Amino acid sequence: MKEKRAQFSSRFAVIATTVGSAVGLGNIWAFPYKCGVNGGAAFLLIYIACVLLIGIPVICAEFSIGRGTHKNVRGALRQLHSSRFVHSFSFIGLLASILILSFYSVVAGWTLEYLIEAISGQMTATPAADFSNHFSGFASSPYKSVAWTLIFLLCNYFIMRRGVKRGIERMSNILMPILFVILIIFCVHSFFLPEVGRGLKFLFHPDFSKITPSVVLGAMGQAFFSLSLGLSCLLIYASYFSDKENLIGSASLIAVLDTVVAVLAGVIIFPAVFSYGANVAEGPKLVYEVFPAIFASMSMGWLWAVLFFLLLFFAAITSTISMSEITIAFMTEEWGLSRKRASQVNTLVAMALGSLCALSFGVLRDFTIFGMTIFDLFEYISSNILLPLGGIVFALLAGWVIDRRFIRDQLTNFGSVNRRLYPVISFLMRFVAPVAILLIFLYGLKLLHF
């Protein structure tokens, strides 16, 4: 039986759920480490430019297609265009969402392990020098990492199964404000650290000599992943928006809030990194290796650790809920499966693939395809190929292929809002965004060298 299509019940819910999707491990784990590796403030500056010039117009493209049709990605494309070739682009998002869910759940699973270690006091009892070994030991243990991945996916399943209104909306309404409160507490704490000045200078005082083509393109890629762009995640959320929602306004607010969280994460992390003598260019291990060491040397460290990993877990689950919605809406609306059954299929596939990703830090470490472990391969295919491809497709579809009036009516609510902003967004969507994304794409495939 076809289930009635849900709608978010308030503007607050729209913002909370969409920001919940955008804000995740990408902001709190990936942004600070990438900013650290790429020279700090210069990276931040370009990142912000990318959010404004690519992020907002592509969000608008996904929003207008989703809200205008109130359908899943395939249904939406079918309604808007007769060509099967155009419909086939829906598979980019479906494939990307399942690949991202699989490897993302592994990193989210580490968060759960660290949360339990923090609660039990084990984390703050570990000598700071041992955290690197501790992380490697844990990540490579054959069962622990897999077990946490599966547990995380089960949490995701129980929320998903409840549906848009009861599961996603309620969860985001509660979790997103808590997330902001915890972040603010951490920021305040950072201001009392001895090296707060150095940390903030690193984040906000740009050294323009650090800007290289690879920093520019790295910042664009990060903006893409962080905003959940290109895989129809925002399209499907917009399909639950009401017709009164101001799409350009919401897109801008979401882009700003997502960026604020990334910057807050930087404000929290860099003063701490300098104060505790950690290496700012530590790389992807920054959160999972350096933070516990920092907590161990803080007074009330266990409490900060619990808050931090709780925050990371919340941020991760509101993101995985949104990626799961892409496949679940597809299976319920295109295949007629019940929401419960679709959630089960989604979870089982992610469990199988996620276990392989988790094992690639241990027993499958030497199993490589194109020189990459399964985890790295999934990350590479989704971030470097599928998201940029999807982003170009949405920008081109909304900018050039779909009836111009349809997009304009959506972005202006039939001429009642944003009449002056619309031409700017339209220009960015049609020209600026596709060209910029193309550069990321070619760079990701290593077809473009500077």
Q: Is the dihedral of CA 226, 231, 232, 233 positive or negative?
A: negative
Nearer to ligand PFF, 386 or 398 (CB): 386
Identify which range of 16-24, 59-67, 82-90, 238-246 contacts ligand PFF by CB under 6 A: 16-24
Tokens of 440: 């990321």
Q: Which residues contact 386 (CB under 8 A, 6 or more apart)?
A: 92, 93, 95, 96, 99, 230, 231
Number of residues that bind ligand PFF (CB under 6 A): 16
The least CB distance from residue 95 to ligand PFF, in Å, is 12
Angle 301-334/90-120 helices, nearest 10 degrees? Answer: 150
**Under the criterion CB under 6 A, does residue 27 sit at the interface with ligand PFF?**
yes
Chain CA centroid to CA 345, Å: 22
The secondary structure element, H or E, covering residue 140 is helix 131-140
The least CB distance from residue 21 to ligand PFF, in Å, is 5
**Under the criterion CB under 6 A, does residue 25 sit at the interface with ligand PFF?**
yes
Nearer to ligand PFF, 167 or 301 (CB): 167
Cα separation, 77 vs 81, in Å, equals 6
Considering only the C-alpha atoms of the chain, give the largest distance between any 2 of them, rounded to a whole number of Å. 63
Residue nearest ligand PFF, Cβ-based: 26
Identify which range of 21-29, 274-282, 351-359, 413-421 contacts ligand PFF by CB under 6 A: 21-29
The least CB distance from residue 286 to ligand PFF, in Å, is 15
Among 350, 280, 385, 343, which Cα is nearest to 108's?
A: 350
Nearer to ligand PFF, 226 or 426 (CB): 226
Identify which range of 24-32, 110-118, 172-180, 267-275 contacts ligand PFF by CB under 6 A: 24-32
Nearer to ligand PFF, 104 or 131 (CB): 104
Is the CB of residue 235 less than 8 Å from the CB of residue 63? yes
Nearer to ligand PFF, 227 or 396 (CB): 227
Q: Is the dihedral of CA 106, 107, 112, 114 positive or negative?
A: positive
Site map 341..370 versus ligand PFF, x via CB under 6 A: ------------------------------
Site map 316..335 versus ligand PFF, x via CB under 6 A: ---x--xx------------
Neighbour-count burial of 137, counting CB atoms closer than 10 A to its CB (0-12 exposed, 13-18 middle, 19+ buried): exposed
**Interface with ligand PFF (CB under 6 A), residue from 20, 24, 199, 271:** 24
Q: Which residues contact 345 (CB under 8 A, 6 or more apart)?
A: 327, 331, 337
DSSP, res 54:
I
Site map 203..242 versus ligand PFF, x via CB under 6 A: ----------------------xx-x--x-x---------
The least CB distance from residue 225 to ligand PFF, in Å, is 6
Radius of gyration of the chain (CA): 21
Nearer to ligand PFF, 271 or 391 (CB): 391
Tokens of 266: 């930087």
Looking at residue 61, its amino acid is: A
By the criterion CB under 6 A, which residues form the site for ligand PFF? 21-22, 24-27, 97, 100, 225-226, 228, 231, 233, 319, 322-323
